[in-house]
Amino acid sequence: MSTKNKKAQVWTTDFSLSLLVFVIAIVLFGRAITNLSSSTGENIDDLVSEGRLVTDSLTSEGYPSNWTVANVKRVGLMGQGKLLENDKLQNMLNMTYQDAREILGTKYDYFLFFIDEKGELVNVSENLGVGHPNVYAIGSRKDTNTIAYYQKENLLLDEMQELNATVFTGGSKSQFIGNITNYEVLVMEDPHFSDIEIDVVEEYVLEGGKLIITEHITDTSGTYFGVNFVHRSMNAGNELATVISADSNMPFSIGETYTPREYPYIDAAHIDKIATYPDGKVAMATFGYGSGKVYYLSDSDNPDYLGDFEEEIKTATTNFLLEERPENYVELNQIQYNKLVTITRLIVMNGKVTRMVLYIWD
């Protein structure tokens, strides 16, 4: 491409972004999308008015324009061009809830969060939002992580650490079992659990949990999650597994092959086979159990795979984590309120159109 064309392309991109910001600015200051609770009362109008004043402040630069926690007079999250500044958002996160509410000038409680163009919550804090300390966005945990990784062989350690997973080793099995309900996805690498320990994991999946398991679930063959887990000896090097079916979470292509170092398998009529051995036994599959879902891989150690098998499992874990997250974003069970108002404004955050959502209630 010539230099002239490159300059034209940059100008077009800048112009498009400027036009987008202009349109967003009209939305920002022209109107807010407001949803009311079913409650009625004299102060609903006051809540709406207060919510709009709060979002007016948040969609300004604030005062001073480069404000800090030490000198803030007006809390605003925008910078020049009406783009959200992450430094200002971080400053707001560093303020106490009471201080922020006082400077925003509201007597009501609030919680602020952001939703990207894919409908996913934007990760801006531990509880995916800022505001009342007893409100949590759905999918967040009081732990800093949403993935728990139990391992004996460290094959996936680097990849799980890159996903900020909480790592449990063989010596911390009881801690893992005692805390699994704090996590959205469990990754269990060759766990060799007892039947009592598996009962706890089964209950977790039954109630909607997500599980990825590799190799041997126990020391012997048995039926768990309604599926037969079958042991067999080490792979002699000629048991090639072939991907036979595409899966939305597993980033493998039909026809790809790999040779697991160990090759136990699972068997049940209701499983969805992803990869099989020449004898038809299942090397990789997924299946439902109660309200939850399980992925099984006979081994994460596959030295003959042409790509990076561990990296593929990392991608699958991320996809699994984001799969079918609930549409109701915020958990309000820990607070009491009479009336609640939602104010939604469109902003530009990290170069993308984003919904900024404010819950305000009395």
Residue 324 has what pLDDT? 60
Distance between CA atoms of residues 323 and 45, nearest Å: 38
Residue 149 has what pLDDT? 95
Residue 32 has what pLDDT? 41
Identify residue 103 by its one-letter amino acid code.
I
Residues 6+ apart with CB under 8 A from 169: 150, 151, 152
Distance between CA atoms of residues 14 and 105, nearest Å: 36
Residue 141 has what pLDDT? 40
CA-closest candidate to residue 283, choices 261, 314, 304: 261
CA-closest candidate to residue 137, choices 125, 145, 127, 147: 127
The one-character DSSP state at 190 is S
Domains of the chain: 3-139+327-361 (no CATH), 147-322 (3.40.50.880)
Buried b (16+ CB within 10 A) or exposed e, 11-50: eeeeeeeeeebeebbebbeeebeeeeeeeeeeebeebbeb
pTM for this one?
Answer: 0.54
Three-state secondary structure call for residue 135: coil
Residues pairing with 112 in the sheet: 130, 358
Residue 325 has what pLDDT? 53
Could you list the mean pLDDT of each consecutive 10-residue stretch along the chain, which spans 362 residues?
Answer: 36 44 45 42 77 94 95 94 91 95 95 83 82 74 66 88 88 90 92 94 91 94 95 74 93 93 91 94 95 92 86 90 62 79 89 90 89
For residue 198, give the H/E element and its range: helix 195-206
Distance between CA atoms of residues 4 and 11, nearest Å: 11
Residue pair 153/189 in contact (Cβ under 8 Å)? The answer is yes
